[in-house]
């Protein structure tokens, strides 16, 4: 398998979020000839939505995803309604940014009004997720904003996402219909024995003839040992994920989108010169993914 086209590299802004504000990141992408970006809502809010949209447009960056919506489960109706309203705002912002999808981190066990987990009802949480995405779809589908369910590694099932496999995400897509797809993040799904099969399933839709559900592809690496559940992701090539193999499966599934580097790294990459980080992303994307 040859090296990936460098034009397909996209930067999830979490990768340098500790060093730069969003306008700096946009300028950094331009400086390093990185053509895609995936910004986070808090960074967009801090810099101003319209201002960010204009800068991204001027820099001719493709917005490979908007991070993020979701967090549906809650023990009380008021919190669920608040999540619903906030997710609609996220759809509106994603539209303003011309994002290719709104990424959904769906939420874990139901939380109370104070934001603390207040239930052990995992099955109920998954029903709330299905219902929450279904309701949001009624808003997002006519607006033309695809929703991308991101299955997260099962270590996050309690507090971040109770959708943990591609199979579960595919099942939700089957149930909910058009307008919803999947963000495949190598970090979250690399271990799954059914990964190839489920990528193929996502590529063809339920019937094998439908349009692809593969809406985004996030890359980084799994370090051994991993010292933090959230903020110890590795740069491509520094860990144990066979990224070229995974890319071949995505390509085989007809995925033609960009490869979004998303690295949370409190003790390494977040401490480095951000220009060095972007330069390294480019080299490792070419050589190790």
Residues that bind Zn ion (CB under 5 A): 185, 218, 262
* CB 69, min distance to Zn ion, A: 13
* CB 31, min distance to Zn ion, A: 24
Instruction: List the 62-63 sheet strands across, edge first.
Output: 62-63, 36-38, 9-12, 259-261, 214-219, 180-185, 147-149, 102-105, 66-70
- 25 vs 75 by CB, closer to Zn ion: 25
Phi, psi angles (nearest 5°) of residue 6: -65, -20
* CB 185, min distance to Zn ion, A: 4
Per-residue CA distances from 265 to 69, 148, 249, 277 (Å)? 22, 24, 27, 11
Give the dihedral of Cα atoms 256, 62, 69, 46; nearest 10 deg: 160
- 185 vs 192 by CB, closer to Zn ion: 185
* CB 176, min distance to Zn ion, A: 20
- 10 vs 79 by CB, closer to Zn ion: 10
Phi, psi angles (nearest 5°) of residue 21: -80, 165
Q: CB–CB of 9/35 below 8 Å? A: yes
- 110 vs 198 by CB, closer to Zn ion: 198
* CB 188, min distance to Zn ion, A: 7
Tokens read off for 6 = 């460098």
- 118 vs 232 by CB, closer to Zn ion: 232
């Amino acid at each position: 398998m040859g090296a990936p086209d460098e034009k397909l590299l996209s930067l999830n802004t979490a990768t340098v979020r500790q060093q730069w504000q969003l306008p700096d990141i946009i300028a950094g992408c331009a400086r390093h000839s990185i053509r895609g970006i995936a910004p986070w809502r808090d960074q967009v809010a801090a810099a101003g939505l319209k201002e960010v949209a204009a800068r991204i447009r001027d820099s001719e960056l493709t917005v490979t995803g908007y991070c993020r919506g979701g967090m549906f489960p809650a023990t009380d109706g008021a919190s669920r309604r608040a999540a619903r309203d906030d997710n609609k705002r996220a759809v509106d912002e994603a539209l303003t940014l011309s994002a290719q999808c709104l990424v959904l981190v769906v939420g874990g066990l139901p939380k109370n009004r104070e934001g603390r987990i207040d239930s052990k009802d995992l099955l109920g949480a998954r029903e709330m997720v299905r219902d929450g995405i279904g309701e949001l779809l009624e808003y997002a589908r006519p607006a033309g904003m695809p929703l991308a369910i991101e299955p997260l590694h099962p270590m996050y099932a309690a507090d971040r996402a109770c959708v943990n496999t591609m199979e579960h995400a595919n099942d939700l897509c089957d149930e909910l219909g058009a307008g919803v797809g999947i963000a495949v993040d190598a970090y979250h799904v690399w271990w799954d024995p059914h990964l190839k099969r489920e990528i193929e399933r996502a590529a063809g839709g339920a019937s094998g003839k439908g349009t692809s559900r593969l809406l985004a592809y996030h890359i980084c690496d799994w370090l051994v040992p991993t010292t933090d559940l959230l903020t110890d992701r590795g740069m491509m090539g520094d860990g144990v994920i066979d990224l070229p193999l995974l890319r071949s499966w995505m390509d085989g599934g007809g995925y033609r989108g960009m490869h979004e580097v998303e690295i949370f790294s409190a003790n390494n990459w977040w401490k480095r010169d951000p220009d060095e980080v972007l330069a390294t992303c480019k080299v490792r994307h070419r050589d190790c993914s």
